């Protein structure tokens, strides 16, 4: 692997780390440790896919595709996987950990966690303000189909969040 790839990778990692972590955190229902593990898997896949990047999509779309596929294909979790500890897990600038996360955060993750895997990923991209056209391209479905799905997801989330807030 040449030095150019390494430089591009560094740039990608710095620029898109938070974006991927947010997607993974939603997918993992707010679990920070699992989200870091998954983010790590995504960036390992990004490194291995980098030589095949053909600039037919922006880096952002390309990385979202890898992130979405990594999340969906996480069906066979390797047991006892030895991991190099991510420094980011230690040096994050998180102002609050999971134990004292905000009430809003808990409610939101709980509601998102009730969605199925595909819905969760779509919703996380919507919340991250990714254009519908781009989400449709990432998922490989029509924009119309996506709009209908998002409409239903929003309705479900609204009901669940209101229920949670009422109980809370």
Partner 1 sequence: MNNELDELKALWQKAKSSTETQPVKQDIAALIAQGEAKKKSTLAAHVINAAILSGTVAFLVFYFYYLYNFQDLLSNMGINLMIGGLTIRIVIEIFSAIRSRRINISDKATQSLQNSISFHEFRKRIHGPVTMIIFGLYFVGFYMLTPEFSRHISMAWLIAMDVSALMVAAVLIVFIRKGIRQELRDLEKLIELQRSLTKES
47-76 residues in contact with partner 1 (CB under 8 A) are: 47-49, 52-53, 62, 65-66, 68-70, 72-73, 75-76
- Residue placing its CB nearer to partner 1 in the complex, 34 or 65: 65
Complete DSSP assignment for the chain = --HHHHHHHHHHHHHHHHHHHHHHHHHTTT-HHHHHHHHHHHHHHHHHHGGG--SSS-HHHHHHHHHHHHHHTTTSPPTT---PPPHHHHH---SS-GGG--HHHHHHHHHHHTS-HHHHHHHHHHHTT--HHHHHHHHTS-HHHHHHHHHHHHHHHHHHHHHHHHH-
Tell me how far, at minimum, the Cβ of 51 lies from partner 1, in Å: 11
28-47 residues in contact with partner 1 (CB under 8 A) are: 32, 40, 43-45, 47
- Residue placing its CB nearer to partner 1 in the complex, 10 or 163: 10
Number of residues counted as binding partner 1 (CB under 8 A): 71
86-115 residues in contact with partner 1 (CB under 8 A) are: 86-88, 91-96, 101-102, 104-105, 107-109
Tell me how far, at minimum, the Cβ of 107 lies from partner 1, in Å: 8
**Tokens in use for 72?**
């969906």
Binding letters toward partner 1, positions 129-148, x by CB under 8 A: x-------xxxxx---x--x
Instruction: Round to the nearest angstrom and report the end-to-end CA distance of the chain.
Output: 53
- Residue placing its CB nearer to partner 1 in the complex, 80 or 95: 95
By the rule CB under 8 A, 24 interacts with partner 1: no
Tell me how far, at minimum, the Cβ of 38 lies from partner 1, in Å: 13
Cα(132)–Cα(147) distance, rounded to whole angstroms? 7
Tell me how far, at minimum, the Cβ of 4 lies from partner 1, in Å: 13
């Amino acid at each position: 692997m040449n030095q150019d790839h390494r430089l591009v990778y560094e740039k990608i990692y710095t620029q898109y780390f938070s974006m991927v972590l947010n997607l993974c955190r939603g997918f993992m229902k707010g679990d920070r440790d699992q989200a870091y593990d998954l983010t790590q898997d995504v960036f390992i896949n990004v490194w291995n896919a980098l030589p095949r990047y053909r600039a037919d999509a922006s880096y952002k779309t390309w990385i979202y595709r890898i992130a979405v596929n990594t999340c969906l294909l996480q069906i066979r979790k390797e047991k006892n996987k030895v991991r190099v500890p991510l420094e980011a897990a230690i040096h994050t600038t998180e102002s609050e950990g999971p134990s004292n996360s905000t009430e809003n955060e808990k409610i939101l993750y709980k509601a998102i966690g009730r969605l199925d895997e595909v819905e969760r990923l779509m919703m996380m991209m919507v919340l991250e303000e990714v254009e519908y056209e781009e989400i449709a391209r990432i998922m490989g479905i029509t924009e119309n189909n996506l709009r209908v799905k998002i409409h239903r997801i929003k309705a479900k989330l609204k009901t669940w969040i209101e229920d949670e807030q009422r109980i809370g």
